[in-house]
Amino acid sequence: MRGLPLTPPNPSSHLPKIYQALLLSATFSPDVEALKELVLHNPVTLCPPEPRLPGPSQLRQFGVRCGTEEEKFLLLCALLKLGVLRGRALLFVGTTPRCYRLKLFLEQFGVPACALNSELPARSRCHIITQFNRGVYDYIVATDEEAPAAPPEHPPRKKQRKGVAPSKDRGKGKDKDKGKDKGKDKDSEYGVARGIDFQNVTVVINFDVPPTVESYIHRVGRTARADNPGTALTFALPEEEEGMARIEDALAGENGESMLQPYKFRMEEIEGLRYRCRDAMRSVTKQAVKEARLREIKDELLNSEKLKAYFEDNPRDLHVLRHDKPLHPAIVKPHLRNVPDYLVPPSLRGVAKPDRKKRRRVLNTGAKRRRGATSRGSGNPLQSFKYARHRAKRPAAPPS
């Protein structure tokens, strides 16, 4: 529906006088309502109920209670780097800055991921999804902003200070600007949780608790499709317990048992990874997140098909854009990429595979070198060392 003019022409002039029509749409937006009035006459509206999530035999749902924000990042790092969660995964967060923060955090550990949010153009979003389906990326950090949390009916009143007259207009400008920033440059038709064809998604991780039950169903519905198994993890802080309880109550079974089982993970076994997690979180600052967003906008400008003609007429602007100061979103520390064996918990030694291929390659190279040295002679340089003394030639005696 995007791209239609504000006053679309009446299509009835191009249709026969008597016809039957069906109008299908995934959502019921105002644009669909306007088109329905133009094309259909006294239509019957059918709204099928939302499909239920698969059963526990196909979809395993877990709730993870985290005490602090740091524990969220620590647990995610452990699950991905230690190989506990394998396959393609979708990671949902609440806001766009948080989306880039989590993406930069994963890059610190050598985990390539791409960001998907409503600020990106439609062409870029389609390109990211295509790369994900082809296997270029295994992780997508996405925002789901189609279903904001419902505001309270009666917001709490603030206490009035003595000597200050109440003003109805006080704070209006501030709230207005805040609303402008919140919806600035965002696609109203964007929604990652539904309407997008993600293929072979094994795990869905709600890094932030979804704002509504419908949003949770749409997010988790991206996995466990076509009789394939799937897993859903939801991280919850103490301040997110209310939303978590609302989801558990809505998805409770017939016997009242919650569908979200507690995820039993011993946090004390991954305490060795905490200092690495802190180093990565310190590197991903607000300035780094801001520069990451600017770099993505810059790449969109350089690769835009619509701006090619403009840059051909204005090559100086293209030169300035290409040779602008380099942006360094976050300093990637190489030592965070590899997980040493002594940091792997004993219970995960048989599951975790921290860069085994690279280690085997290094060991094989060293073995080849040792074999080469042995073939040339003994491995002990004191035994294989030979000293050949060369006597200097004496100059010939002059004739007497």
Confidence of residue 183 (pLDDT cuts 50, 70, 90): very low
Q: What is 55-146+194-281+334-349's CATH number, 3.40.50.300, 3.60.70.12, 2.60.40.10, 3.30.565.10?
A: 3.40.50.300
Quick one: what percent of the chain has pLDDT higher than 90? 28
Confidence of residue 160 (pLDDT cuts 50, 70, 90): very low
Task: Please give the structure tokens belonging to residue 272.
Answer: 């060795």
Averaged pLDDT, 20-48? 83
CA 216 to each of CA 98, 116, 130, 219: distance values in angstroms, whole numbers, following the listed order: 18, 18, 24, 5
Averaged pLDDT, 237-266? 88
Averaged pLDDT, 244-259? 85
Question: What integer pLDDT is reported at residue 185 of this predicted model?
Answer: 54
CB-side neighbour CA atoms (13 Å) of 338? 10
Q: How far apart are CA 111 and CA 276, in angstroms?
A: 14
Q: How far apart are CA 265 and CA 267, in angstroms?
A: 6
Question: What integer pLDDT is reported at residue 30 of this predicted model?
Answer: 83
Highest mean pLDDT among 34-48, 139-153, 362-376: 34-48
Q: How far apart are CA 267 and CA 220, in angstroms?
A: 25
Mean residue pLDDT of the chain comes to 78
Q: Which residues, 6 or more positions from 283, have their beta carbon under 8 angstroms from its beta carbon?
A: 104, 108, 330, 331, 332, 333
Closest CA to 210 of 56, 29, 61, 27: 61
| AA letter at 119 | E
pLDDT higher than threshold 70 for residue 250: yes
Question: What integer pLDDT is reported at residue 365 of this predicted model?
Answer: 55
* β-pair type (114-116, 139-143): parallel
Instruction: Name the more confident of 11 and 137.
Output: 137
The residue extents of the domains of the chain are: 55-146+194-281+334-349, 285-329
Query: What are 239-246's contacts with CB under 8 Å, separation 24+?
Result: 240/208, 240/209, 243/149, 243/209, 243/210, 243/211, 244/63, 244/209, 246/213
Question: What integer pLDDT is reported at residue 271 of this predicted model?
Answer: 92
Say which range, 62-66, 155-159, 349-353, has the weakest mean pLDDT: 155-159
Asked if 101 and 274 touch (Cβ cutoff 8 Å), the reply is no
Asked if 231 and 223 touch (Cβ cutoff 8 Å), the reply is yes
Confidence of residue 154 (pLDDT cuts 50, 70, 90): very low
Asked if 207 and 72 touch (Cβ cutoff 8 Å), the reply is yes
Question: What integer pLDDT is reported at residue 73 of this predicted model?
Answer: 96
Averaged pLDDT, 145-169? 45
Asked if 136 and 199 touch (Cβ cutoff 8 Å), the reply is no
Asked if 334 and 280 touch (Cβ cutoff 8 Å), the reply is no
Q: The pTM is what?
A: 0.70
Q: How far apart are CA 325 and CA 357, in angstroms?
A: 37
End-to-end CA separation in angstroms for the chain: 116
Question: What integer pLDDT is reported at residue 305 of this predicted model?
Answer: 80
